[in-house]
Structure 1
Amino acid sequence: MRILIVEDDNRIAKPLAEDLKHQNHAVDLASDGLQGWDYALGAEYDLILLDLMLPKLDGIALCQRLRAAQSPALIIMLTAKDTTADKVLGLDAGADDYLVKPFELDELAARIRALLRRSAEIRPEILSYGGLQLDPQTLAVRYRGMNLDLTPTEYAIVEYFLRNPQRVLTRSAILDKLWEFDRTSGEGTVKTHIANLRKKLTAAGSPKELIETVYGMGYRLKIESD
């Protein structure tokens, strides 16, 4: 998943970002509400972790803006305020869940899994296309039963293709979806990762270009013949 953390306290934001990256997620950090809004306009996020008390634009106002703009991202509000009134305010603003600080990273991971289960009709538990399968719960990727040893970026690319099996994905779209704003990466980086991923898929028995090049446009999953 691509995740945006909007949190002005680095003591919370940085360890949280590192933990999520270790779980194969692409993570962006914003330190105030307006920066969070700019990030949300510039990329498609699956999940936004949103602090309630933020400089420039508070978390409630940002959440309301996101929902008014029809953002489909799951939103978990993070705050030290634990009264019922505060929780109701956050949920009424459009948040999907509310987590009180301080919290354990394991609890946050469990909340994220619960939200994904709730939206299972949109995001199926097992993603598959032909012989390629990805399990978001266990982070396992297999080709016709054979496990693939993928880097976090390769995993994210496979997930992106499996969630968009009929789309041609341009290199710029893959960059926008999977790379963080603060990293300097070009389209050549995408080309390199696709090449490495193809080698691993071929070694597992897939057709030579299960991820095929659509010249002048980008990449898509190739329809396998029986």
Structure 2
Amino acid sequence: MNTAVDDELIRRNPCRVKGADRYAVPERPILTVPAVFAVADSLAPRYRLLVLLAAFTTLRFGELAALRRRDLDEEGLTVTVRHARAELQSGRLFDKGPKSAAGVRTVSFPAELLDDVTRHLEQFAAPGRDSHDFVGPRGGQLRRSNFRDDWGKARKAAGVTSELHFHDLRHTGNTLASTTGASTRELMTRMGHSSSRAALIYQHLTSDRDRAIADRLRAMIREGGGEATGQE
């Protein structure tokens, strides 16, 4: 239900029970960079960019589905989030504004994705500056239910865990961004959160990250002329 709140499918979690959050939650899968590309390559070409942007800009599925041509800036290497796709119980789709001001944001994407962005806009996006970037083979709007089978097949073909949800690409991207040394505020802006709570989750230390910090401190000591004396 918290994931549904993050995806802006519901306004609040109706399942909150006092004290019920005091338990160990299994860690969600985190993909390596090669695994992200393996999943992207296992999908139909029209959905390749969907996976890459989810992982490397940490946009939610609803935000990706609502993107329009004008939201992708090839020169500035950015994607701007203005809306999120919502689906009513009747099945009707519509694009709405994010639930908070922080949700409207511009996120930079790696230059290595530029060719994929250009190719996608040329071959798969709907025509017209205000048209959607991600549409189905027949030009229909992208919805979760239609994409679910494609996702399951790609996940299997790429050899990643069957527990991997599309939303875990966002989790992967947030983790990767955190390991670059991004600050809490930078993570909050990138994630589209007005609270630091979620951003702080990704700033926990791993053994590899801790070793990298120690190695940098070692370099600083050497550059500063310091050295161990060996004396007690």
- Under a length normalisation based on structure 1, what TM-score does the superposition of the two structures give? 0.32
Q: Which has the larger radius of gyration?
A: 2
- Which structure exhibits the higher relative contact order, with contacts defined as CA atoms closer than 8 Å and separated by 6 or more residues? 2
Instruction: Give the helix-richer structure, 1 or 2.
Output: 2
- Under a length normalisation based on structure 2, what TM-score does the superposition of the two structures give? 0.31
Instruction: Give the strand-richer structure, 1 or 2.
Output: 1
